[in-house]
Amino acid sequence: MDLAYQQCINPDCNATYSVSEVHVACAQCGALLDIRYDWQRVAVPKSMAFFEHRWMTKGESGPGVLDFSGVWRFRELLPFYRTESDIVTVGEGRTNLQQAHLLAPQIGLNKGRLFLQYEGLNPSGSFKDNGMTAAFTHARMVGARRVACASTGNTSASLALYAALSQIPGVVFIGSGKIAYGKLSQALDYGALTLQIQGDFDACLRRVRQIAVDRPDLGIYLMNSVNPFRLEGQKAIMYRVLEAMNWEVPDWIVVPGGNLGNCSAFGKAFSEMQCLGLIKKVPRLAVIQASGANPLYELVTQKGLKWNGGRFDRKRVAEYYGQLDGADVHAHTIASAIEIGRPVNLPKALRSLDFMQGVVRQVDDETILEHKAMVGRFGFGCEPASAASVAGAHLLVEEGLIGRDERVVCILTGHLLKDPDATVKYHTGVDMKAVQEKAPRQEPKGRLACRPVPVPDDLEAVVRALQ
């Protein structure tokens, strides 16, 4: 019997499924799924400090490949795989937590109180690798023939890397002109079939979900964060934060919010660690959105939406989205990674906010760019979306909600080099994207050239591109 199963998060449904099944939603009610464990049967260590000995250890028969990964060295906390040979890993998660002495006073915190979790150090340059290693492990377990995702760039870069590594063909759906060049270049170099859909991220996600569900003949395994296995891997970001803090729980975790997978995974990580008696305290959560892509902020902070034990007010959400549709409002922000108007993990994000006494704030593009430049100037660097976390922490300190002496961890989700255009434009005023668009094009000559394929946002056209 497996140690893990999938379970619907809707308390009025609670349907369960085996881990050998592939679902992008509950087959009974359409809600999101969680991975659950029969913890009684898992050899969970008595303390988180147990995991330290694995760091930099060598396995008995050569280097300990799983211990080399900052996700799988915590494997007892995500034991959904059947055998260790299922695991697809590239040594992700060897990231670090920096005590940002120079930046702390800039955002009103006392020295030694600000910490930056630098997820840009992952192999594909963003936190997504934490989740992708887990989802590919599941994809391999179930014998997936093809994997796909919609993306604002980082998910596609990460998927393409793991697809290349595991030799499972990868397809990425990206909004035409919507992703930063660094990220596009990664998907092409790793050799994924790159469909440039004429639409935004929300349109891409609708389309790829439709294809994964309605066209089983195309054999598409979905890698977006509706895939609950991905979030299992992303829990490890929190384990590493705690490890770097010597297992002392900080006061705040501050994270940018787009599709809301990360904040969902963080809440699950803390809730499980608490249930297992591995931590005594739970930090507070702050989710920061760009003001041009702020559905969680609007729904939670402005309209008072709450988890309510899983019976949240779905009508209020539908009404709000209906208003946006009626006015043809789409998400728009310089932080392209979080340019998302219909976050699929909204319910799980509400659950995390509830469990971690969370708050949601929005910050505008100018504030994001100023904080991005500060993160760079004081010795780290990150992409625009990541800087939203620092900008949000600053705002919360100014509001007085975060005390100057509280210990605050901001998650820097993606590497500075992911979006060179935004950085160059900030510092020089030159819009490289506009320059590139006008530049004459030549036929690519490289033997492995992988050209993006432009596709209208239309089911038949997408199916043709996949056949």
Binding site for ligand F0G (CB under 6 A): 126, 151-155, 225, 256-262, 337-338, 383, 385-386, 413-414
CB of 154 to ligand F0G, least distance (A): 3
Tell me whether residue 89 or residue 345 sits nearer to ligand F0G (CB atom).
345
- Is the four-CA dihedral 413, 418, 422, 425 of positive or negative sign? positive
Tell me whether residue 100 or residue 412 sits nearer to ligand F0G (CB atom).
412
Rounded CA-CA distance 31/25 in Å is 6
CB of 174 to ligand F0G, least distance (A): 8
Q: Which residue is listed with tokens 């010597």?
A: 246
CB of 205 to ligand F0G, least distance (A): 9
Extended strands (E) in 310-393: 359-363
Q: Which residue is listed with tokens 């994207």?
A: 433
**What are the distances in angstroms from CA 134 to CA 2, 12, 303?**
16, 28, 35
Tell me whether residue 3 or residue 160 sits nearer to ligand F0G (CB atom).
160
CB of 49 to ligand F0G, least distance (A): 28
Tell me whether residue 93 or residue 261 sits nearer to ligand F0G (CB atom).
261
| H or E segment and range at residue 98 | strand 96-99
| H or E segment and range at residue 254 | strand 252-256
Tell me whether residue 137 or residue 289 sits nearer to ligand F0G (CB atom).
289
Extended strands (E) in 277-415: 284-290, 359-363, 408-412
Q: Are 330 and 200 in contact (CB under 8 A)?
A: yes
SS3 of the chain: helix, strand, coil, percent, to 5: 45, 15, 40
CB of 126 to ligand F0G, least distance (A): 5
Angle in degrees, CA 202, 181, 233, rounded to 5: 60
Tell me whether residue 87 or residue 349 sits nearer to ligand F0G (CB atom).
349
CB of 151 to ligand F0G, least distance (A): 3
Q: Which residue is listed with tokens 């660097």?
A: 381
Tell me whether residue 51 or residue 294 sits nearer to ligand F0G (CB atom).
294
CB of 64 to ligand F0G, least distance (A): 29
CB of 257 to ligand F0G, least distance (A): 5
For residue 58, give the 3-state DSSP assignment.
Answer: strand
CB of 411 to ligand F0G, least distance (A): 8
For residue 294, give the 3-state DSSP assignment.
Answer: coil
Rounded CA-CA distance 35/391 in Å is 33
**What are the distances in angstroms from CA 146 to CA 90, 201, 212?**
19, 20, 10
CB-count burial class (<10 Å; 0-12, 13-18, 19+) for 60: exposed
Tell me whether residue 89 or residue 155 sits nearer to ligand F0G (CB atom).
155
One-letter identity of residue 322: G
Tell me whether residue 51 or residue 361 sits nearer to ligand F0G (CB atom).
361
Tell me whether residue 273 or residue 385 sits nearer to ligand F0G (CB atom).
385
CB of 19 to ligand F0G, least distance (A): 22
Rounded CA-CA distance 433/451 in Å is 18
